A and B are shown apart, each in its own frame.
Chain A
């Protein structure tokens, strides 16, 4: 397999500049700061674009686009061709990675998949599996749309001010961290959920979930405050007895505004036009 190790192009001072390599993946094996200076296009859905093998790497995409051949469309979302390639992927012990300011589109698997770090201002679109996957991280001001599985998958992260729309599975699947001020629209499963994650726990606040095929918001444990869930095809909120919720609005959800799974009402909620939530 041909690969390209960075620095492929560098300056004496400042971030190492990344150009499209002759052979993918482009491998970053030293800590430091890097920036794209042109779009990257991988030749197949099995090819990774950027592989990070060192800790403490920052990559500024500078508005450029990493593109693969996968196209996702329809409702529910389906993607083709299938493949094994990631847009940006950290391997082994590589930790503390920052990715910012650019688009990853059309990869065979996840758009961005990091072990830990920060993701900000990233648009992950039409990737064969998840848009963004990270642990021990901050994910903010990003968009994940029309990906084959979930838009954002986060474990032990702060997830704030993101838009997840039209993904094949859930919009945001977040475990063990606050998920604040996001919007999840028209996803194929839950809008925002911690169910099915390792701990199933969540702090969901100030989010909006609507027109999702599953529940608007679901959790096994934690608190759900000040959210609005509209016109989802299952429940507005679906929570077990380990969930407390208050100051939310659940309106027009098809199976009901709240499920009968035992979540506790910490404070008033609005269910349709009634403060008596079932």
Chain B
């Protein structure tokens, strides 16, 4: 076990930093340092487990060995993880519009099983299952690309300024969030699939089914184009100020609990809009008489 102990020391030598911050690597070793965010280096064995509140920063890329291995698991509340531009990567490769992936598994890039995590500023690529999954918190400036299932999922969260591309199911999914200024491209299923959420100012392009799908929400100021089903699919709420273009079914397909206004729907293949109530004028093709 001496070799193991040496490895433990080596693996954890950069899991260090301030005060009482504690990180547990695969061997359960905890180290700490004087001050500043705890620096995270790639462990010898994944996942790296963050089990104490505080601030953490990656200082190198992480590479997991197979589709069933998670990279980082957060088990404490109130963790902020700055990826600092580094990449967490796995073996899955997804290509095409929409994406077809080489495989899937049970490994997540970053999974938060506690609440109130913040993840920012880096890339998660090629994981077997989700790129990032959190339960309450903030995701910002993240790129979730080519993961075997969804790119990002969150509950009671803010997701902003991020890119989700070519993931094996949905780009962004979850419940009770504010979703702003994101780009969802080429995901196998829906670009942005959110319940009870405010979906504001996003772009969904070339996804396999819907661009944006919500069953009770506010979808405002978004752009959807060239998605495999309708650009926006809503089961209640408001669709205002969106532009939908060249989607394969409808531009906006809604039910009668949806109000629509100031949208444009152009060159959508089955029809520009279906159902919903007009709160204000919409543009359908070159006509303001929307069906």
With A251-B237, A251-B257 in contact, is A208–B217 under 8 Å at CB?
yes
Residues 183-224 of chain A, each 1 if its beta carbon lies under 8 Å from chain B, else 0: 101000000000000000000001110100000000000000
Contact between B178 and A125, CB atoms less than 8 A apart = no
Q: Enumerate chain A residues within 8 angstroms of B41, measured Cβ to Cβ.
A: none
User: What's the minimum C-beta distance from A210 to chain B, rounded to whole angstroms?
Assistant: 6
- Residues from chain B with a CB closer than 8 A to the CB of A103 are 53, 78, 80, 116
Q: In the complex, A63 Cα to B137 Cα: how many Å?
A: 12
Report if B261 contacts A (CB, 8 A). yes
Interface string of A62-99 (1 = CB under 8 A from B): 11110100000000000000000000000000000000
The answer to whether A181 and B178 touch (CB under 8 A), given A37-B18, A268-B278, is yes
**B196-223 interface (Cβ within 8 A of A):** 196-198, 200, 216-218, 220
Residues of B within 8 A of A162 (CB): 158, 178
Q: How many whole Å from B154's CB to the nearest CB in chain A?
A: 10
Q: A143-B138, A230-B216 are in contact. Are A183 and B257 (CB under 8 A)?
A: no
A63 and B56 contact, CB distance less than 8 A? yes
Residues of the A chain whose Cβ atoms lie less than 8 Å from the Cβ of B156 = 143, 145, 163, 165, 185
Q: How far is the CA of A161 from the CA of B258 in the complex (A)?
A: 22
Residue contact A207 to B138, C-beta cutoff 8 Å: no
A101, A183, A273: which contacts B80 (Cβ < 8 A)? A101
In the complex, chain A residues 234-278 whose Cβ is within 8 Å of any chain B Cβ: 246-249, 251, 267-270, 272-275
Cβ of B177 within 8 Å of any chain A Cβ, yes or no, is yes
A-side contacts of B258, CB under 8 Å? 249, 270
Q: What is the bound-complex CA distance between A161 and B156, given in angstroms?
A: 12
Q: Are A163 and B178 in contact (CB under 8 A)?
A: yes
Chain A residue at minimal CB-CB distance from B238: A249
Bound-complex Cα distance A248 to B280 (A): 11
Q: How far is the CA of A9 from the CA of B80 in the complex (A)?
A: 23
Chain B residues lying within 8 Å of A39, measured Cβ to Cβ, are 18-21, 53-54
The 8 Å CB contact of B200, one of A64, A105, A181, A269, is A181
Q: Is A65 a contact partner of B200 (Cβ separation < 8 A)?
A: no
Q: Beta-carbon contacts of A51-64 to B below 8 Å, as 1s and 0s?
A: 00000000000111
Determine whether the beta carbon of A269 is less than 8 Å from that of B177: no
A270 partner residues in chain B, CB cutoff 8 A = 238, 257-259, 277, 279
User: Which residues of A are found within 8 Å of B262, using beta-carbon distances?
Assistant: 247
In the assembled complex, the Cα of A161 lies from the Cα of B37 at a distance in Å of 26
Q: Is there contact, CB below 8 Å, between A65 and B280? A: no
Residues of B within 8 A of A228 (CB): 198, 216-218, 237-238
Is B140 in contact with chain A by the CB < 8 A criterion?
yes
Cα distance, A121 to B121, chains bound together (Å): 14
Indicate which residue in A143, A208, A247 contacts B240 across the interface (CB closer than 8 Å).
Answer: A247
Q: Is B118 an interface residue (CB 8 A)?
A: yes
- Residues on A with beta carbons closer than 8 Å to the beta carbon of B157: 163
Instruction: Kindly state the separation between the CA atoms of A36 and B77 in the bound complex, as whole angstroms.
Output: 18
A274–B258 alpha-carbon span in the complex (Å): 9
Q: Would you call A226 an interface residue if the criterion is a C-beta within 8 Å of the partner chain's C-beta atoms?
A: yes
- Assuming the A-B contacts A123-B78, A206-B198, are A64 and B279 also in contact, with contact meaning beta carbons closer than 8 angstroms in the complex? no
- Nearest 5 interchain pairs by C-beta: A63-B80, A63-B55, A270-B259, A38-B19, A38-B18
- Please, could you name 5 A-B residue pairs with CB atoms under 8 Å apart, sorted by A? A143-B136, A143-B158, A145-B116, A163-B157, A182-B198
Given contacts A64-B80, A141-B158, 7 further A-B contacts (CB under 8 A): A125-B115, A145-B156, A185-B156, A208-B198, A230-B236, A267-B261, A273-B277
Interface residues of A (CB under 8 A from B): 9, 17, 19-20, 36-39, 62-65, 67, 101-103, 105, 121, 123, 125, 141, 143, 145, 161-163, 165, 181-183, 185, 206-208, 210, 226-228, 230, 246-249, 251, 267-270, 272-275
Residues of B within 8 A of A (CB): 18-21, 35-37, 53-56, 77-82, 115-116, 118, 136-138, 140, 156-158, 160, 176-178, 180, 196-198, 200, 216-218, 220, 236-238, 240-241, 255-259, 261-262, 277-280
